[in-house]
Amino acid sequence: MLRDHYIFSNGRLKRKDNTIYFFDENETKKSLPVHQVDNLYVFGEVDLNSSLLNLLSQHSVHLHIFNYYGFYAGTFCPRNKKVSGFTVVQQSAHYLDATKRLYLAKMFLQSAVHHMLRNIRRYKEKTEEYVRQIELEAKKLDTATDIQELMGIEGRIRQYYYQSFNEILKQDFIFEKRTKQPPQDPLNALISFGNTLCYTTVLSEIYKTPLDPTVSFLHEPSTKRFSLSLDLAEIFKPLIVDSVIIACINNRVITPKHFDYLEGMVFLNEEGKKKFIREWETKLATSIQHRQLKRKVSYRYFMRLECYKLIKHFIGDERYKPLKAWW
């Protein structure tokens, strides 16, 4: 079974006998059978060479690089083997058609709002007013006429949503405002780190399909980013990331001691990253009985299913309806 692997130590990644070896600073060797690896996440300072990259490419392993603070730096993506010119042409046509693009953008946000409300309704005595405000804003999604208007509505909804965390979280994690580059408090640091894991996981699932990760609908396509992963992540950030954050804080898996501070910037220390990733992986592997497929599907595979639904929409087989958790 394919698994994600995370490297926190400094050292070297090396190809030997058609498998991956990691040598830490003490030259301690650990093998990673390449046929069992889906993604490699590198948080330490690691040396590697083209021989290793060729091996990763042969086995379609994605290599995600993070800097010392845990901020995403970039991804090595193997050559895409799931190529379909027809799908990409149809995907691009849906971006170029303003009506078709707006429909998909609204679908992503409607799913996101559904999952936000799902999270905070569990604490309805404390969050009733926030639910009401979000529902009022969400009604405006249907009548929005362009992407900028949608993004404005989404921004207000997310502000109410994050403010409700002050009523939900049991420890002294306070939300004042969303700060990203860099995060300025522990809660923002958790949100940013979790969202980054979500983006990279969605990107890896997109690459297992013929979709082009640079052609998006809610987020504007631009150079140097895989913006379709940002679109699809809107569905899964509240469903997976935020539920993991709430559980980690309320169950005291993550506490204030798991953060470091540097010149106005706050980031998870190594122990904090490991603890969060452990909960993240557990959540991704959790399976739900799928109503249409009649079998259990993991949270990770739900990401792939969204890609397949988009493809069917682009080629005219079935109109896209986003995931809205029913469980």
* Alpha carbon of residue 309 to chain centroid: 18
Residue ranges of the annotated binding site are: 154, 219, 234
Angstrom distance (rounded) from CA 267 to CA 270: 10
Q: Do 3 and 38 meet the contact criterion of CB atoms below 8 Å apart?
A: yes
Residue ranges of the annotated binding site for Mn(2+) are: 154, 219, 234
- Helix 270-285 to helix 243-250 angle (10° resolution) is 120
Calculate the alpha carbon distances from 199 to 18, 156, 225, 249, 319 in Å: 29, 22, 11, 22, 24
